């Protein structure tokens, strides 16, 4: 069921204080960035301006995200849940990040749930695995390590990287020819990794690829 054409703010269920929780999520890589609150007026302002506005429970006022810090949020898409009492804002995050600490996400602390793990540790916010892989490759380029295969490829340059792309593509084709599903998945993973190394080497960001894919998705819908 979709409410996109006949949606009314009155369809939403605000709590006794006139508020509704709003989760901000990166529109491309899916990272959960922050949780805040909206009232009807801040939601209207967000829909009208595409600049995300929230309601501050501590100051009892509407605030535009990033008005002072520059870490503004631009609304790309908005959804509400099956009970009409929670929102997800798919946004483009500008500036240093969504969190007032300067982190990309407010959810940078992880509680370990396995017995052998240590206490809470600081970690990066969850996003899709391909974006995390690219971030790791980028970190290797910034902080080189002699034992890093990624740094080996980046140091060797285009010829070595493109040769590996060709080798992995050929191995993927052979796995498909042999109809070996496990090898197909393995070789596809190798292609994605080497593709991302090539992209970084050429100065192309993974988000550039995601942006193009998103634009194509919009055209096909």
Judged on CB neighbours under 10 Å (0-12, 13-18, 19+), 198 is: middle
Query: φ and ψ at 166, to 5 degrees?
Result: -65, -45
Nearest CA-CA partner of 29 in 171, 219, 208: 208
For tokens 């209207």, name the residue: 44
Supply the pTM of this predicted model.
0.74
Residue 4 has pLDDT above 60, yes or no: no
- Of 120 and 90, more confident: 90
- The mean pLDDT of 57-66, rounded to a whole number, is 96
- Tell me the per-residue pLDDT of 187-202, one tens digit each, with 9 for 90 and over: 999 999 999 999 999 9
Beta strand extents in the chain (DSSP E only): 20-26, 32-38, 53-56, 61-64, 73-80, 87-93, 109-110, 121-122
Which pLDDT score is estimated for 111? 81
- Of 131 and 22, more confident: 22
Domain spans of the chain?
9-99, 128-220
Collapsing DSSP states into helix, strand and coil, what is residue 99? coil
Instruction: Compute how many other C-beta atoms are within 10 angstroms of the C-beta atom of residue 74.
Output: 15
Confidence class for position 5, pLDDT limits 50, 70, 90:
low
Percent of the chain with pLDDT over 70: 91
Which pLDDT score is estimated for 146? 87
In CATH terms, are 9-99 and 128-220 the same topology? Answer: no
Residue 1 has pLDDT above 50, yes or no: no
Which pLDDT score is estimated for 188? 97
Confidence class for position 126, pLDDT limits 50, 70, 90:
low
Collapsing DSSP states into helix, strand and coil, what is residue 56? strand
Confidence class for position 26, pLDDT limits 50, 70, 90:
very high
Domain 9-99 has CATH 3.10.20.810: yes
Pick among 1.10.287.1080, 3.40.50.800, 1.20.1250.20, 1.10.1740.10: CATH of 128-220: 1.10.287.1080
Output the average pLDDT for the chain: 91
């Amino acid at each position: 069921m979709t409410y996109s054409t006949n949606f009314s703010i009155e369809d939403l269920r605000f709590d006794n204080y006139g508020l509704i929780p709003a989760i901000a999520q990166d529109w491309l890589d899916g990272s959960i960035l922050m949780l805040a609150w909206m009232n009807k007026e801040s939601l209207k302002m967000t829909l009208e301006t595409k600049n995300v506005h929230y309601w501050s429970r501590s100051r009892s006022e509407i605030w535009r995200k990033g008005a002072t810090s520059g870490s503004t949020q631009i609304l790309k898409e908005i959804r509400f849940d099956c009970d009409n009492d929670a929102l997800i804002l798919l946004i483009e995050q500008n500036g240093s990040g969504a969190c007032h600490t300067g982190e990309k996400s407010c959810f940078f602390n992880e509680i370990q749930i396995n017995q052998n793990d240590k206490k809470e540790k600081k970690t990066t916010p969850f996003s899709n695995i391909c974006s995390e892989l690219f971030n790791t490759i980028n970190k290797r380029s910034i902080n080189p390590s002699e034992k890093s295969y990624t740094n080996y490829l980046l140091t060797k340059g285009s010829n070595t990287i493109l040769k590996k792309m060709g080798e992995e593509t050929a191995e993927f084709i052979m796995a498909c020819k042999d109809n070996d599903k496990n090898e197909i998945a393995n070789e596809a993973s190798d292609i994605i990794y080497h593709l991302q190394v090539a992209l970084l080497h050429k100065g192309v960001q993974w988000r550039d690829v995601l942006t193009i894919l998103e634009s194509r998705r919009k055209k096909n819908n």
